[in-house]
Amino acid sequence: MASKDAQNQRSRSLPGFLPGSSDPDHGHHISSSNPGNQVWQRGPPPPGSLPPGLEYLSQLDLIIIHQQVELLGMILGTETANKYEIKNSLGQRIYFAAEESICFNRTFCSTLRSCTLKITDNSGREVITVNRPLRCNSCWCPCYLQELEIQAPPGTIVGYVAQKWDPFLPKFTIQNANKEDILKIVGPCATCGCFGDVDFEVKTINEKLTIGKISKYWSGFVNDVFTNADNFGIHVPADLDVTVKATMIGACFLFDFMFFEHSLAGL
């Protein structure tokens, strides 16, 4: 009987609810009939040892990022600040990301603009901050390349995304707070994705083993041509460190800016 009570208590301690829900009993439980539920429940670390607000990431092996379409920007042809919904595999929103940048940067610096993306949970609490400085983006310029800084919680740096020069392929490294390389991301030679998904493979530093991928999903010819709405999927091991998962969310935003911001450019 005591063993059963301990098991029940342990199962209640798992963060099986969406961020921003103060009580798991009043949050959005994942249905036990979902086959993926077993993967999500695979021994997450104690919530107290994780950065606040990132506990739910410890359960996920798939993170979906959906860009929200700004109708006013589409009609006027202006560049508006990007907004994204971050969801689990069931399509439930777990975070919301909003870009903060000035109109001058969006207009004249376009996809190279400096900006800050603030990621909040369902209660509106900011849990991740992504800072992007103004940098170059060219295979002909091997210096001052793209870089992101990820903070979780805001004010505490947990990682960086750094572009590495390569004349043929887009390459990036995931770094820890000390700027030590942890993982490498290698993209395809052509990133237009006119008729299919575009995959950026997540590899070990020596590039011998692929452990996941960041995919830009193809949404169809009409959507790709006439809207700027992009959809991404981050496929990673469920037991990957949550700070690395947060850094990969930042990498996904960087790829959107660099390769997919203007959908017509890839056609």
Q: Kind and range of the H or E element at 63?
A: strand 62-67
Residues 77 and 264 sit within 8 Å (Cβ to Cβ):
no
**What is the rounded average pLDDT of the residues 50-58?**
92
What is the radius of gyration, based on Cα positions, of the chain? 19
Nearest to 248 by CA among 160, 164, 171, 181: 160
- What are the domain boundaries of the chain? 55-265
Residues 116 and 129 sit within 8 Å (Cβ to Cβ):
yes
Q: Write b or e for each residue in 80-98: b if 16 or more Cβ atoms lie within 10 A of its Cβ, otherwise e.
A: bbbebbbbbbeeebbbbbe
Looking at residue 25, its pLDDT comes to: 39
243 band by pLDDT with thresholds 50, 70 and 90: very high
| Distance from the Cα of residue 249 to its chain's centroid | 2
Token pair recorded at residue 234: 């981050």
Strands 171-176 and 198-203, by their bridges, are unpaired
- Tokens 């992009």 belong to which residue? 230
**What is the rounded average pLDDT of the residues 89-93?**
92
**What is the rounded average pLDDT of the residues 149-178?**
94
Q: Is the pLDDT of residue 266 over 50?
A: no
**What is the rounded average pLDDT of the residues 205-228?**
73
Residues 6+ positions from 203 with CB-CB distance below 8 Å = 183, 184, 185, 186, 209, 210, 211
| Distance from the Cα of residue 11 to its chain's centroid | 28
Token pair recorded at residue 29: 């439980």
103 band by pLDDT with thresholds 50, 70 and 90: confident
177 band by pLDDT with thresholds 50, 70 and 90: very high
If DSSP codes are grouped into helix, strand and coil, which group holds residue 186? strand
Q: What CA–CA distance (Å, rounded) separates 182 from 240?
A: 12
pTM of the model: 0.75
Lowest mean pLDDT among 78-82, 173-177, 203-207: 78-82
Residues 154 and 126 sit within 8 Å (Cβ to Cβ):
yes
Residues 212 and 194 sit within 8 Å (Cβ to Cβ):
no
If DSSP codes are grouped into helix, strand and coil, which group holds residue 129? strand
Residues 128 and 53 sit within 8 Å (Cβ to Cβ):
yes
Residues 218 and 229 sit within 8 Å (Cβ to Cβ):
no
The arrangement of secondary structure in 55-265, i.e. its CATH architecture, is Alpha-Beta Barrel (3.20)
Residues 152 and 246 sit within 8 Å (Cβ to Cβ):
yes
The DSSP symbol for 144 reads S
Reduced to 3 DSSP states, what percent helix, strand and coil does the chain have, rounded to the nearest 5?
A: 25, 30, 45
